[in-house]
Amino acid sequence: MTAITSASAPTTQRFSSPAAGAYLGRIMAAYEHIVILTGAGLSAESGLSTFRDKDGIWSKHNIEDVATPEAFARNPEAVLDFYNARRRVVLGVGPNAGHEALARLEADFPGRVTTITQNVDPLHERAGTRNLIHMHGEILKAACAHCGARQPWETDLSVDLVCGTCNRAGGMRPDVVWFGEMPYQMEEIHAALGTCDLFISIGTSGNVYPAAGFVAGARAAGAHTVELNLEPSEGISMFAEAIHGKATEVVPVYVARLLGG
């Protein structure tokens, strides 16, 4: 893990309305590679619960009971029930103005944009983002715990399902990264962080590693670092700039600034 070094206090702005954004920021530099890290706060206004807010998912469930490989080995029914319920909710929601603005940024920005999401929902891709890394997996996919085969999956999972690849039962699980498991595409992520000149963290509390350490990696590469979140995150001191407000408000305004609109 990259060591976290102390940083000077970020330029913090409290965002109250889209109109206010017009005079908030400094003039944007000409960036070449933007890396965006997103978390549950971006999907909150689409109707998906966050994890660590007052009524969040972890206020109703113990991580150790539903989001570890040990929990799946101990009580697979309980783990599958937890994800079956969340999958049904995910299937009923759509992207919001924050996801749409980030897709517009990828399409219209003259340089490169890499989006890394901790979210297991499909809302970035449904909004049109293409250069996307789902580092914590995807709830609309299943993985076989026996052979590792992965496939699209939109219905409930159960312990009696047989894997179509290895023909073994009992291993079909959601294709999400549990605590203690290695997130996906870490090599690509570190390569992107090493070449970015702007790092934007959106809707994440900064509690879960390795994602919480990405801002340090981006700073080490010399990137300007920005937090867009409802409130200051755990890692606020690492950011050079911070704008606090709802994702559906602050993200479109920040994207418009980057695109010169």
177 contacts ligand BV8 (rule: CB under 6 A): yes
Q: Indicate the residue among 173 and 219 with the shorter CB distance to ligand BV8.
A: 173
157 contacts ligand BV8 (rule: CB under 6 A): no
190 is catalytic: no
Q: Indicate the residue among 32 and 156 with the shorter CB distance to ligand BV8.
A: 156
Apex CA 111: angle with CA 109 and CA 116, to 5°?
85
108 contacts ligand BV8 (rule: CB under 6 A): no
HEC profile for 227-248?
EEECCCCCCHHHCCEEEECCHH
Which among 233, 211, 173, 190 has a CA at the least distance from the CA of 12? 233
Which among 180, 186, 133, 136 has a CA at the least distance from the CA of 2? 186
What is the rounded CA–CA span in Å between residue 210 and residue 135?
10
What is the rounded CA–CA span in Å between residue 197 and residue 97?
25
In the set 124, 134, 136, 244, the catalytic residue is: 136
Which residue from 20, 145, 230, 259 is in contact with ligand BV8, where contact means CB under 6 A?
230
Residues 6+ apart with CB under 8 A from 66: 78, 79, 82, 83
43 contacts ligand BV8 (rule: CB under 6 A): no
201 contacts ligand BV8 (rule: CB under 6 A): no
Which residue from 97, 176, 216, 255 is in contact with ligand BV8, where contact means CB under 6 A?
176
For ligand BV8, the binding residues (CB under 6 A) are: 39-41, 44-45, 50-53, 56, 67, 118, 120, 136, 176-183, 203-205, 207-210, 229-231, 233, 246-247
